[in-house]
Structures are given as structure tokens and as C-alpha cells.
Structure 1
Amino acid sequence: METRHLTYPDTPDAYPSVMVLGFFDGVHKGHQAVISHAKRVAAEHNLPVTVVTFDPHPKQVLSNKPDAVRYITPLSRKLKRIEALGVERCLVLTFTKELAGLSPQQFVDDYLIGAGAVHVTAGFDYSYGKFGEGTMETLPYHARDQFTTSIVTEQTRRGEKVSSTRIRKLLAEGQVDEAHELLGAPYVICGEVIHGDARGRTIGFPTANVLMDASYVMPRLGVYATRVKLQDGRTFYAMTNVGRRPTFYETGAVSVESHLFDFSEDLYGQVIEIEWIQFIRNERAFDGLDALVAQLKQDEVSARSILS
């Protein structure tokens, strides 16, 4: 996929295509429906598809709490998922206060008409321009007869809208299997394996201590059945703990530690991917190592059963 990063006032070259608009955090089933619609329109006109997205999230630029923004798919992963859907081109617009201040008409002139849009589509609730004054209802007017438009209706599951907000809530509740359904794939976070206190190795459960990118949405504290993908492409069943290790520490930062089943190699320095499959139990303190080891053995049985 050809990807171009633009920062206002830079504008794209004209490239006739069907354009898809959205932030696309998660590239979930609602987003996939919009992109699939664009691909059908593009096939009818023998044109490529261009996704127009933004980075960072508008809330990071416009809110008073920029550090509070967490992503289901940080930019690099979002682009991989968009490419996997068969999109030929992506424009990543750096979201700045200057870009946010453009009138709806100027945004359309510079980034849609100027980019060669033949047809533009988005979800029903997409907005653009200063204060989000441009909507999918006003887009035909702002198109100045230079392109046609279409709207993809709300996508629902079990009577609720499929949305990034809903997925974040599910992850915060530990419902990673429900999030999987809305994403169309397991939730994934990536991180580098770093040195920890090596305590797991002494009790028969060595773990990969993963330094997580702070921008990811973190699942609820607890133990999960997971799959871990290594840099060389191999994948292993695992159980992963997200928590503060209360058996050993009264307080502390949240850590992510994965115990890979049937694995004994050195992973230090590798960037691994963790696929979250199912919540097993809450994190809790144990009365000594024997009780902890007994529980870990039980967790492994549960995780293997889930993953198999």
C-alpha cells in the first residue's frame, strides 16, 4: 500500500480514486464495512481505493488531557490492517490545530477535490472541518459537483453500534473475546521483551516481560489465555498476566508478562505480538509461593483448554 504522510499546509497530488474517510481506530467491522463498500464502488469504476485518515487522535490535540488517549490500533498497526483489506493507497493527515481550523469547504477543496476524488464514502456519523460542521449530509454540497458520495449506515451487533468506544469499554472490562467479535480478529498489542526480576523462572513459569507502548488500550488487570507471535513468525500458546504482582509488591506499575507454553528460548530484545483470546481470572495476592504455583498450574490448564 502506498502511504503518504501530509502536514497542513501540504496537500496531496491529484490521484483519481474512490476515497474513504475515517479515523479507523481498531479497523473494526464497522470500518471494514465502509472500506468494503468503497472497494465495490471502485471496482465498478476501475479505480483504486484511497483511505484518508488522521494521526494523532483529535483528542490528543484538542483536549486538555492529551496523554489520556489510548489506541486500539496505533498508527503502524492500523496501516497494516487497512492494507490487509486490499486498500491501494492511504493518506495520513497529521492532525494539528491548523488542520482542525479549516472550514468544511477548504478541507474538501484541499484534501478531497485536490486529491482527485471521483467518489467519496464514509460512515453515517463522519464529520469534517472546523467544529465538525461538515457532515455526510453536507458533503454533496461541498463536493462542488467534482465527485459523487455515498453513506454507509450504522453497523450493529446484538443491537448495539459497532464502535471503537464500545471496543475500548469491552477491553477495560476484560471481555477480549467480545472485542474479537467486533474487530473481526483478536485484539493485539506489541512490545519489546525486557529483563524483569526473573522470579517466574525460579518457580517453573518463566515469563517474557513485555515493555508495552503506552499508547495502547490495556485490557483489564488479570490473567488471560493468549497467543504470542515472535519476530520470526512462529506463534505459541501462552497465558499472560496484566497487573501489579500483588503477591510480591504492595504497589507498583502495571506489567505485562507472558508465559509461553512448550518454549524455552531467550526472547530478550525481540518485539512480540500478544493476541488476547479470553479472560481467565482476576489478579490477586497469594499466601506464599506454593499457593501461587498451584494457581498458575490451574491457569495453564484453563488456558490450554481455551486455546485448543
Structure 2
Amino acid sequence: MEVEYLQAELTADERESRPPIVLALGYFDGVHEGHQKVIRTAIAEAEKRDVEAAVLTFHPHPRTVLSKDYEGTDYPELTPLPVKESRIRELGVHRLIVVTFDKTLSSLSPQQFVDGYILPLHVVHAVAGFDFSYGQYGKGNMETLPSHAHGKFATTAVTKWEREGEKVSSTRIRQHIESGELEQASYLLKRPHTVYGVVVEGDKRGREMGFPTANIALDDTYVLPPIGVFCAYVQIDGTDYPAVCSFGYRPTFHDRQPEPLIEAHLLSFHETIYGKRVQMKWLTMLRPEIKFDSTDALVTQMETDKRAAYRYFEIIPGL
């Protein structure tokens, strides 16, 4: 899959050299079942026409640019751009086009957006979800796209994808994760919510208490569950290892840390992995974070958490 980054409209020379494509349009955060339906529809239309199947998405997230709540920070995502690229590549797309979302782009009228960013790509057919919008204030939609196309490309609006009578959406999945409902999020994603990061050195306090942990510094700004203790898989060199994961501020030792830490105690892996890039797959929440009166009380609770994790993973200790 070729990845192309567009920071501005194409020049006349760039337009001339482009092959015809069928284009799937959307932000595609999570690349969940609904998104996959849109992309696979585009692939099918491309095969009918013997042309390339392409996906157009945006970066950064529009809220990073338009919301005052995220000025100077990135909006948390289910799949930051490198992960989104990987998920889309797995679907068999020929080309991914990443358009820079900035205030200039957000101020374009729907017709200006189509004229500047769709038609120049040599699009012969555009596919998007039924609720896709474009142009300033989202005034353009799948009902207006045919008129803005001026007959130069066909369009397909993909109907909503539902689970249990409710639309599968990035917003719905995000809400489940932020509420600690990780099983529901996994059900809608068809996989555990996964974050990527590097194992870094910590203060080794866990090792001193008999619970060595891998401190994971995330690569990007992800949607994360609430502060607490979890069962998770930590993938190292392609292998998933069961773990008890603490995500929090360690209130027993600190009044407040500036940022919550992710610390994973692996149940069946005991090698030193500083500097390793790992994946962490959130599976289920065991409990919220608690401040204990003593280290001994914390260790007792950690033993309880570990036993709960053994039950969850159906591991017999010592085997």
C-alpha cells in the first residue's frame, strides 16, 4: 500500500499523472466493522472497474484543530495514524491518502473541498458511510455529494452497521473504553483495544515488593480506560503474555503524579525487556485504583489481583 500525504491541493502537473481510483472517504478511527464495510465496498467497486482502491482520511483529528479543549494537545484516538495505516493496509487497499486537517481545510465550502481534494485525485467512484460530512461546518453530506461531483464520479452511501440495535461507531467504542467496559469495546472492535509503546525503566518499586513490572511509555495519544487495575496481554516479539496491569498515579506512594503510569506485571515472562516496543491489549477491568495505608496492605491487594488474573486467564500457578 502506498501512503501519500497531502498538505495542500494538488498542482496541475500532479493531477495529470494520477491513475483513476475508487475512493473511500472517512476519518476511520478504530477501523471498526462499520469502517471496514465502507472500505471493502470501495475495494469491490474498484475491482469492477479494474482501478485502484484508495482511502482518504485526515490528520490530525479535527477536534485537535477546532476544539479549544485540545489546543496544543492531540485528541486521544482509538487508532493513531500509524496504527490506522497498518489496519487499513491489512484490508488490501492500494493507496492511503492522508490529508492534513487544518483551519484552512476546515474553512472550505463543500464544493471547494470536492473541487480541491476529490476531483484532482481522478476519482471515478466515491464511497462513504451514510453519515459522512465534509466542508465547513459539515454542511456537505452524502446527499449533496452527487451534485458537488457534477457528474464526474459516482457515489455510494454505505448504510449504518449495527450491533444489538445500535450503530457501531468510534464514539460508542470510545465510551465503553473510558467507562472501563473493555469487553464491550472488544466486541465492537472485533479485537481488544490495543496500545503501542516502549518499555522504559521505572523506580523498580514493584520489583522490591516482589511484583516486577514493565513500565510502558506510549507512542501516541490513545483513548484509555479509567484509572485502575486490569487484565491485559502484553505482546513481545509477536507473542502475547498474560499480565496484571496497573494504570494510575500510585497514590500509596505519591500524592499525585503529573501523568498516570502504565505498569504491567507479566505472569509468565521474566526476561529484561527495557527498550522493547510492545503492544498492550486491554481485556478486563479488575478494580479501580485505591490508596492504601501501608505497603503491606498494597502487597496483600496485589496478591489478590494476581489470583484474579490467574482465574481470568485460567492459569494454574507454578505450571
One fold, TM greater than 0.5?
A: yes
- Looking at structure 1, the residues matched to 172 and 88 of structure 2 have their Cα atoms a distance apart, in angstroms, of 20
| Runs of 4+ residues deviating >6 angstroms | none
SS in structure 2 opposite 1:106?
Answer: helix
Alignment-derived partner of residue 242 in structure 2: 237
Residues 126, 155 of structure 2: 8 Å contact kept = yes
Alignment-derived partner of residue 9 in structure 2: 9
- Looking at structure 2, the residues matched to 306 and 31 of structure 1 have their Cα atoms a distance apart, in angstroms, of 31
- Looking at structure 2, the residues matched to 268 and 256 of structure 1 have their Cα atoms a distance apart, in angstroms, of 14
SS in structure 2 opposite 1:185?
Answer: coil
Note the C-alpha offset of 1:142.
Answer: 1.1
Residues 10, 116 of structure 2: 8 Å contact kept = no
Alignment-derived partner of residue 48 in structure 2: 44
Alignment-derived partner of residue 251 in structure 2: 246
In the alignment, structure 1 segments of 5+ residues that lack a partner are none
Note the C-alpha offset of 1:68.
Answer: 6.4
Residues 227, 247 of structure 2: 8 Å contact kept = yes
Note the C-alpha offset of 1:141.
Answer: 0.7
Q: Choose the corresponding residue for 2:161, options 155, 180, 192.
A: 155
Q: Using the TM superposition, name which of 9-18 and 78-87 deviates more.
A: 9-18
Residue 5 of structure 2 corresponds to residue 28 of structure 1: no
- Looking at structure 2, the residues matched to 256 and 79 of structure 1 have their Cα atoms a distance apart, in angstroms, of 25
Note the C-alpha offset of 1:297.
Answer: 2.3
Alignment-derived partner of residue 303 in structure 1: 309
Alignment-derived partner of residue 189 in structure 1: 195
> CA 1:9–1:40 in 2, change beyond 3 Å: closer, same or farther?
closer
- Looking at structure 2, the residues matched to 127 and 262 of structure 1 have their Cα atoms a distance apart, in angstroms, of 48
SS in structure 1 opposite 2:121?
Answer: coil
- Looking at structure 2, the residues matched to 141 and 241 of structure 1 have their Cα atoms a distance apart, in angstroms, of 53
- Looking at structure 1, the residues matched to 45 and 310 of structure 2 have their Cα atoms a distance apart, in angstroms, of 44
Residue 127 of structure 2 corresponds to residue 121 of structure 1: yes
Question: Where does 1:281-300 land on structure 2 (aligned, <5 Å)?
Answer: 281-300=287-306
Residue 282 of structure 2 corresponds to residue 268 of structure 1: no
Q: Choose the corresponding residue for 1:136, options 142, 157, 175.
A: 142
> CA 1:190–1:138 in 2, change beyond 3 Å: closer, same or farther?
same
- Looking at structure 2, the residues matched to 120 and 250 of structure 1 have their Cα atoms a distance apart, in angstroms, of 53
> CA 1:47–1:214 in 2, change beyond 3 Å: closer, same or farther?
closer
- Looking at structure 1, the residues matched to 26 and 310 of structure 2 have their Cα atoms a distance apart, in angstroms, of 38
Alignment-derived partner of residue 165 in structure 1: 171
Q: Choose the corresponding residue for 1:78, options 75, 84, 89.
A: 84
Letter aligned with residue 18 of structure 1: V
- Looking at structure 2, the residues matched to 139 and 55 of structure 1 have their Cα atoms a distance apart, in angstroms, of 22
SS in structure 2 opposite 1:52?
Answer: strand
Note the C-alpha offset of 1:22.
Answer: 0.3
- Looking at structure 1, the residues matched to 310 and 28 of structure 2 have their Cα atoms a distance apart, in angstroms, of 33
Residues 247, 286 of structure 1: 8 Å contact kept = yes
- Looking at structure 1, the residues matched to 220 and 24 of structure 2 have their Cα atoms a distance apart, in angstroms, of 29
Residues 29, 162 of structure 1: 8 Å contact kept = yes
SS in structure 1 opposite 2:231?
Answer: strand
1:130-162 Cα deviation digits (max 9, x unpaired): 222211001111111111111111112122221
RMSD of the alignment, in Å?
1.7
Note the C-alpha offset of 1:106.
Answer: 2.3
Q: TM-score, normalised by structure 2?
A: 0.91
Letter aligned with residue 255 of structure 1: L
Note the C-alpha offset of 1:55.
Answer: 0.1
- Looking at structure 2, the residues matched to 95 and 15 of structure 1 have their Cα atoms a distance apart, in angstroms, of 24
